[in-house]
Structure 1
Amino acid sequence: MTFHWLPLACAQNPLQNPSSAASKVLLDFNNDLADRLKSTSNQVTVTPSQNPAAPGILVTIQPGPEGYPGINIKPAGAPWNLAGYGHVEARVVNTGAKPISVALRVDGAGDWKDNPWNAESVYLQPGATGTVTTIFGYSYGHKPGYALKPEAVVNMMLFTTKADEVQSFRVESLVAGGPAGEKPPVAPDDVRVQPKDGILLGAGVTLDAETQLTNKNADSSLVNMDGQQALRIALPAVQGDAAKGEQEVTLKPAIGRWDLRDALQVRVKVQNAGQIPVVPRLRLESNGGPSDWITPTAPLGPGVEQEIVIPFASATIANLGQKGTGSRLVNDAVSGLTVTADKVNAARVLLVKSVRSEMPPTPQLPAWLGQRPPIDGDWVKTLDDEFDGTTLDQTLWDVYGANYWDKQSHWSKDDVLLGGGVVRLRYEKKTGFNNDDPTQAQTNYAAGYLHTYNKWAQRYGYFEARMKLPKAPGLWPAFWMMPDRGAAVGPQWKRQDTANGGMEFDIMEHLTRWGSNRYNIAMHYDGYDKDHKSIGADKIYVQPDKEGFITCGLLWTPGSAIYYCNGQEVARWEDPRISNVPSILMFTLPMGGWDNNSLDDAQLPAEFVVDYVRVWQRKDLASAADGKQPASQAEVLGTGH
């Protein structure tokens, strides 16, 4: 980009005056900035505004292929020393005709492989003005990010997303501000509270009726019983038009949301304190939606007390593509407990004596689990790896490949550990090269990886693994499958294309922020670009067995994918689009994911443990593509998107 910088018509730009004495102006529009501004591509032009009423620099982006078009802003000479500040903020105006998202990235002096930057974005309607604030050490939603050194800021970047039409914005100011070590503000609803011993109401808990109780056509109060609070709910008689409205009371956290990820249910002790039999109804509320309504099996007579258990998991499994099926409750964002009762033309009184989150008793697993598929048929076991030896079966598994999911870590054979009848994929803080190859990327974290690309594939069947999930924050373990059409098709991208009948099956995909009792299943298809489609369920609740393992399986037949955990069906999708392409097995342990928290080095190393992998094929579905692949194939590039 080349342009001639013209001084602004106005001598003073009031918007450039810092908002406080502690702010520092980083762009003075009255000076020549031509050497400090550079577009990211020929799609982008930059000109100074000549309108005194609308000062700043104008950025115009033409339609084109660039993913993140914008401008780079360099310091005048040496890197900026912003050690006395906590953030950089830009005030921008959308001067175009379409909504845009403008991001501000602040670049440090670190190794580019570590992504040494922090960034935030602001969404602007046409004509709207907004401020995007990037706090040092945080990125995108003020989540903890790269530990940028503010004393050595080498570049700043303002950019948008790919432009299909002309986009434009004006930069009105760019300043550093805030105190050193600044922390992002926390919205009250974003606060997460883990109740001590799981108690939401009961011993040791003091509630505030004014802030924690909401009433809808009902009355509630907190009363003292045996030295602790109880919740009294009075539901008036219902008649006439009043019968059309809801009668309910909701108990809420003191602030934010309850984080109940260490539990799978809430136990509520309720007493009928009225004069007539009553049928109470209870459910949990959350950011993602409520639990099922739960009622006792019979009305409670006057004075009768009963414990009612509200499971996080819905009684209706996730029938993908059908609304109203599957679990909606988000276990770490529970916003309330709602209590009501069947409507009758008489007053009813309920006394809620205690509310506690808990784990159910360890379930008894079905006898068929691990021994056969979940449905009858003429099945043949086609793969059975118990990991009982001291070395990996290299005719079946590979530990190397590209890491498409996590640019902070590399795959290493040293992090695939056999012993005790299991294989452990380890994630650790250890500098090294991807695939233990000095010619490949170097990162500061190492991880284990297993896949069968070039070695084994199967179309249709039942696929099962018994696994123990890591607990360290920020990790993303998964058991999944990807297409493989075989070496005769050509390069890897053709072999593993999820279009043309192919599909990614995520049999068990977990983000450690969710806790050990929840995971995701999904299917991705029609490629990973503009035609990409997906379907799945991210609230699969499960209780590990007595040894801490979960056993997850996929029953894949023509037009059908049915998912199981610990012997119970948890989700299904029946559709002609279900994959008909042979697929490989994968176990991955990157960091990150779409809904995770930050990695904590102090909790590393962590391990994703696999006890066994077993696969069956129904004889009438078998094909020549099933089983081990020819050893002569040379392409071992890795798998996935």
Structure 2
Amino acid sequence: MKIFFLFLLILALPGSEFIHEKQTAAKMPERVFGKEEMAAPSVDMTKKDGWHLVWNDEFHDEKSFIKWNPQNWPSEKNGEWQYYLPENIDVRDDLLVISSRKESYKGRSYTSGAVTTESKFEFTYGKIEIRAKLPKGRGIFPAFWLVNSDEDWLPEIDIMENIGQAPNELYYVVHWKDEAGKQKRDYTKITEDIDFSEDFHLYGLIWEPGRIIWTLDGRNVFETDDFSPDSPLFLYINTAIGGNWPGPPDPQDDFPKELLIDYVRVYQQGGIGQ
């Protein structure tokens, strides 16, 4: 079977925190990351408490990456220090690995990785589950987002944000503009007796008309009815370095830092957002 997939691969080879600045969409890198189809999910996984699985990546195949857009640009927002490179994205040991490295590249002192599903998978309403192990260290800023294709990325839902020097704290935020164009947000910070860099945890979001619920390891931790977007959003996963909020990284810290993703799953209920 491995020989068969290798043969197919050979045939296929070619001859945005709080306020974001929209970047030009990155092209897929020349190297081939993925296969054309994911294996069919198990029956148990496709239905959960009335939710039906509509999109997922389990990262079981090291070449299973065709559903994502690896980013290739220097971050210009929030004073961040990283240059996003496709080479910092890998699928290894059934995990998506986003590596942050201390290295010079095009005027930046650090490189990191980011992926999106823009133009590949955008949806309205649903239940999102991301099982992940976070990196740790001063100035390290892993996050999972839902963002809009508009210029300023608003509205935006931050599924999870963490600052690496506080590995037991998580931030949950929704950003939007009111009718007058004024930027608004609702958010909270939770502090747990957990170091989220030591093990995998399940970061979840339930996005419904008029309400958003954030979950952690299956329990509700924050809810808002102040605003819930009603337009399609896409997934965005990244690790930023430095900047106005997390502050500078520790120059004596060990690199690379790795954000590990076990799986990403999106569920919807029949007739909602489909």
TM-score (norm 2): 0.75
2:71 aligns with 400
Matches of residues 174-253 of structure 1 in structure 2 within 5 Å? Answer: none
Look up the SS of the partner of 1:470 in the other structure. coil
Distance 2:162 2:242 in 1: 11
Choose from 101, 111, 117 the match for 1:428: 101
Partner of 1:506: 158
Equivalent residues of 1:387, 1:422 under 8 A apart: yes
Maintained 8 Å contact 2:72/2:83: no
Preserved contact between residue 45 and residue 53 of structure 2 (Cα < 8 Å) = no
1:416 aligns with 2:66: no
Does the alignment pair 1:387 with 2:59?
A: yes
Alpha-carbon distance between aligned partners in 2 of 1:545 and 1:510, rounded to the nearest angstrom: 9
The alignment-based identity, stated in percent, is: 25
1:526 aligned partner, one-letter code: K
Corresponding position: 1:464 with 2:129: yes
**Matched ranges for 1:24-423 at <5 A:** 376-377=49-50, 379-394=51-66, 396-402=67-73, 403-405=75-77, 406-423=79-96
SS at match of 1:414: helix
Q: Give the distance between the partners of 1:564 and 1:462, measured in 2 at CA.
A: 10
What's the C-alpha RMSD, in Å, of the aligned pairs?
Answer: 2.6
Matched with 1:583 is 233
Distance in 1 between the 2:181 and 2:56 partners?
Answer: 38
The aligned counterpart of 1:553 is 204
Q: Which amino acid aligns with 2:230?
A: N
Pair 1:370–1:511, CA change in 2 (3 A) = farther
In 1, the alpha carbon distance for the partners of 2:95 and 2:109 equals 26
SS at match of 1:552: strand
Query: Are the equivalent residues in 2 in contact too, given 1:467–1:550 (CA < 8 A)?
Result: yes
For residue 404 of structure 1, report the CA deviation from its aligned partner. 3.7
* Distance apart, 1:583 and its partner CA: 0.6
Distance in 1 (CA, whole Å) between partners of 2:198 and 2:189 is 24
- The aligned counterpart of 1:614 is 265
Is the partner of 2:203 in helix, strand or coil?
Answer: strand
Whichever residue aligns with residue 476 of structure 1, its letter is: F
Task: Tell me the residue number matched to 2:16.
Answer: none
Change (3 A) 1:548 1:504: same
Distance 1:607 1:534, change over 3 A: same
- For the structure 1 residues 545 and 448, does the alpha-carbon distance in structure 2 shift closer, same or farther, using more than 3 Å as the test? closer
* CA apart distance, 1:445: 1.1
Which residue is 2:176 aligned to? 525
C-alpha spacing 1:372/1:555, structure 2 compared with 1 (3 Å): farther
For residues 497 and 545 of structure 1, the distance between their equivalents in structure 2, rounded to whole angstroms, comes to: 27
Q: Deviations over 1:139-161 (max 9, x none)?
A: xxxxxxxxxxxxxxxxxxxxxxx
- Following superposition, the deviation at residue 370 of structure 1 comes to 7.3
Any idea what SS the aligned residue of 2:59 has? Answer: coil
For 2:64 and 2:244, how far apart are their aligned partners in 1? Answer: 31
Contact preservation (8 Å) 2:88, 2:112:
yes
**In 1: Cα distance, 2:240 partner to 2:183 partner:** 22
Q: Tell me the CA shift for residue 594 of structure 1.
A: 5.0
TM-score, normalised with respect to structure 1: 0.33
Distance 1:509 1:545, change over 3 A: closer
Change (3 A) 1:370 1:447: farther
CA 1:385–1:399: 2 relative to 1, 3 Å: same
Amino acid at match of 2:65: D
- 2:46–2:53 Cα contact (<8 Å) kept: no
Q: CA deviation at 1:454?
A: 1.7
* Contact 2:81/2:243, CA 8 A, preserved across alignment: no
Q: Secondary structure at the match of 2:141?
A: coil
Structure 2 residue corresponding to 1:564, chosen from 192, 208, 215 = 215
Contact 2:112–2:239 (8 Å) recurs in 1: yes
- Give, as a single letter, the amino acid of the residue that structure 1 aligns with 2:201: I
For 1:547 and 1:513, the matched residues in 2 are separated by 13
- Residue 22 of structure 2 corresponds to none
Q: Within 2, Cα distance between the matches of 1:448 and 1:504?
A: 20
After superposition, what is the alpha-carbon deviation per residue over 1:437-475, rounded to whole angstroms, capped at 9, x for unaligned?
A: xxxxx4221101111112111100101101111112111
1:592/1:530 Cα in 2 relative to 1: closer, same or farther (>3 Å)?
farther
The answer as to whether partners of 1:466 and 1:551 remain within 8 angstroms in 2 is: yes
One-letter amino acid matched to 1:512? G
Task: Give 1 or 2 for the bigger CA radius of gyration.
Answer: 1
Tell me, in whole angstroms, the C-alpha distance in 2 between the residues paired with 1:372 and 1:586. 24
Aligned counterpart for 1:451 among listed residues 116, 139, 142:
116
| 4+ aligned runs moved over 3 Å, structure 1 | 369-373, 404-407, 542-547
Look up the SS of the partner of 2:87 in the other structure.
Answer: helix
Across the two proteins, how many residue pairs are aligned to each other?
227
Q: CA shift at 1:545, angstroms?
A: 8.3
In the alignment, the residues of structure 1 paired with residue 160 and residue 231 of structure 2 have an alpha-carbon distance, to the nearest angstrom, of 20
Aligned residue for 1:589, secondary structure, equals strand
Structure 2 partner of 1:479: 144
- Whether the 8 Å contact between 1:427 and 1:446 is mirrored in structure 2 is yes
1:520 and 1:540 in contact (8 A); partners too: no
CA–CA separation in structure 1 for the residues paired with 2:122 and 2:251: 36
Structure-1 separation of matches of 2:217 and 2:243: 24
CA deviations 1:25-45 (Å, max 9, x no partner) are xxxxxxxxxxxxxxxxxxxxx
Distance 1:544 1:443, change over 3 A: closer
- Matched residue type, 2:99: R
Q: CA deviation at 1:600?
A: 1.8
1:606 shift after superposition: 0.7
* Conserved 8 A contact 1:409-1:446: yes
* CA–CA distance in structure 2, aligned partners of residues 546 and 451 of structure 1: 23
Distance 1:545 1:429, change over 3 A: closer
Deviations 1:586-627 (A, max 9, x none): 11111135553431233221111111100111112033xxxx
